[in-house]
Chains A and B, each alone.
Chain A
Amino acid sequence: MIAPIEATGLGKRYGRKWALRDCSIRVPAGRIAGLVGPNGAGKTTFLHLAAGLLRPSAGEVRMFGRSPREQPKLLLDRVGFVAQDAPLYRDFSVADMLRFGRVLNARWDQRAAEARVRSLKIPFGQRLGHLSGGQRAQVALTVALGKRPELLLLDEPVASLDPLARREFLRALTGAVAEEGLSVLLSSHLVGDLERVCDYLVIIVGGQVQVAGDIETLRSSHRLLVGPRVRADRLLSAVDVVRAQHSERQTSLWIRGPLPVLPSGWREEPLSLEELVITYLATPAAGTLPEPELEVAGL
């Protein structure tokens, strides 16, 4: 099966600075993939390259095997995109916005779009500039879903929303995905949100992909070991350490791979996804990738 997104050696340079560099990932079909990283890590650049808004400086990105910039006609109908802050025409009414989607997209589903707006209890005559941030995000999602895409790209869709609106938005998203069976790639710097909806994770730091893989596999292939500092050395040589943290008496090791034989005094502690992500964000040099290696490590 052709992957919805496949990047090989993808890079984007602004002047001398690389916003994204040597990025190779393959997001499998039918997944909700999360793109996580600190601000300025290159998440938006990657999504814009995938949506065809940007032209790569190096490498290539293919959606369903096709280049978004070279073959836009074949892709524009199949890929939905909601940019950061959900830009919409503020002087359009909600009905205008749906009509915009209808006249510009061949596969537009007007009935489903109207039903979504109705279920959100947003009046059709309301101008978009007068809606709340949460409602605007929902309308933007409605337009993106209305075109019945096979792949949905969302850039920080919940960043500007309050916790309740965030929950509503993510619920709407997972509901739509379950109904339509589409693939999703959404970016966020909030791991908690991603954990709630995603089953695939891409960690990106400083313009480079650190980790990409199935969340379950990631979880099962990493562990946190805690023990007395004095006996850390023997363990250190036996495992693949992602990050080590030493306090006066105690050492914490975030490791990749199976559980080793632990020296006395050492124990394994539960490792949350958030902690795992932070571990990689805190130690960019530990980047594993490419993804197949990680999967080998996890199996």
Chain B
Amino acid sequence: MTWVVWRQHRLEALWALLVAALLAASIGFVAHQMSISPCPAQASPGGGPVPGVADCLPSDFWGSLAQGIVRVNLYQYGLVVLPALAGAFVGAPLVAREIETGTARLAWTQGVTRRRWLLVKLGLVFVPLLAGAAVVGILEVLLINVEGPQANRWALFDQQAPMTVGSTAFALALAVAAGSVLGRSVPAMAAALLGFVVTRVGIAELARPRYLSPLAFSTNDASAISAMKGSQTAWWLDQFQFRTSVVQAYHYQPGDRFWTFQAIETAILVGLAAMLVAFTVYWVLRRLG
């Protein structure tokens, strides 16, 4: 059975390995360049998407190459988009292609039960892809570590482990379920992509800021924010004004909550993925036919 899954999906495996290797190499390269020259203690306050990274790079050829990679930011987007692509191109056809080409009728009448067929297939596709997502996510954590304790992790929330693993698990499980129910690869790909974007954006925009109730910082002097202890590592949410006062208040999530938030959101996505896998098993074993 292992050989059958390998023979069917070796092309996807090759692609996944290639993409993961490219990502890992580019992240590792930037991290290495950053570690060569010491970062200035004070990086720009407020922070862009990757605060202070450019300040940490050496000014030679390799340093400017690393800076180019950071500026294009390809791997940062890639880490958000790739789970969705893995879902669409590996997850969606997993069961759907067998149904639409009729080979499900061949596979399910061999000497291996449908349950075993499905579980082996799911396992052999999920485990390597999740491992790849973990490796790339951990490298991203290390890259941000190079910036030092003042680095703001919130801007790259989705790109770090364990979120990369949760995101990939959810994308794959959603796509496999969509493929099993729709029975056709292309509509399943579209449904899985749409479902992934809507769910991920919904969680990130609506749920994420509220995992723990935000702290408030009030001042009548906006420049006091950057002077606040932990200002750089915080996630600043919104600004509001008390009706009767000139004092401005700012909601924020402090930097030391980052890993708690990672754990909560990863747990949500892995939980959703587990439910989708259970649904897929139910659907393929009980409802198909």
Contact = CB atoms under 8 A, between A and B. Distances in A.
Interface of A: 48, 51-55, 72-73, 76-77, 79-81, 83-85, 87-90, 92, 96, 99-101, 103-107, 140, 143, 147
Interface of B: 1, 3-4, 7-8, 101-103, 105-114, 286, 289
B111 A87 contact: no
Contacts of A54: 289
Nearest to B115: A72
B40 to A, nearest CB: 55
A106 B103 CA distance: 20
Contacts of A48: 105, 289
A132 B111 CA distance: 27
Given A87-B101, A89-B103, A52 B109 contact: yes
Contacts of B112: 76, 104
A99 B1 CA distance: 10
Contacts of B101: 87, 90
A104 B105 contact: no
Contact of B102 (A51, A55, A85, A105): A85
Contacts of B107: 104
Nearest to A92: B7
B109 A96 contact: no
Binding site secondary structure of chain A: loop
B289 A81 contact: no
B105 A83 contact: yes
A52 B7 contact: no
Closest 4 interchain pairs by CB?
Answer: A87-B102, A104-B110, A83-B105, A81-B109
Given A55-B289, A96-B7, A147 B105 contact: no
A105 B106 CA distance: 12
B106 A76 contact: no
B8 to A, nearest CB: 7
Contact of B110 (A87, A92, A105, A140): A105
A105 to B, nearest CB: 4
Contact of B109 (A53, A84, A88, A103): A53
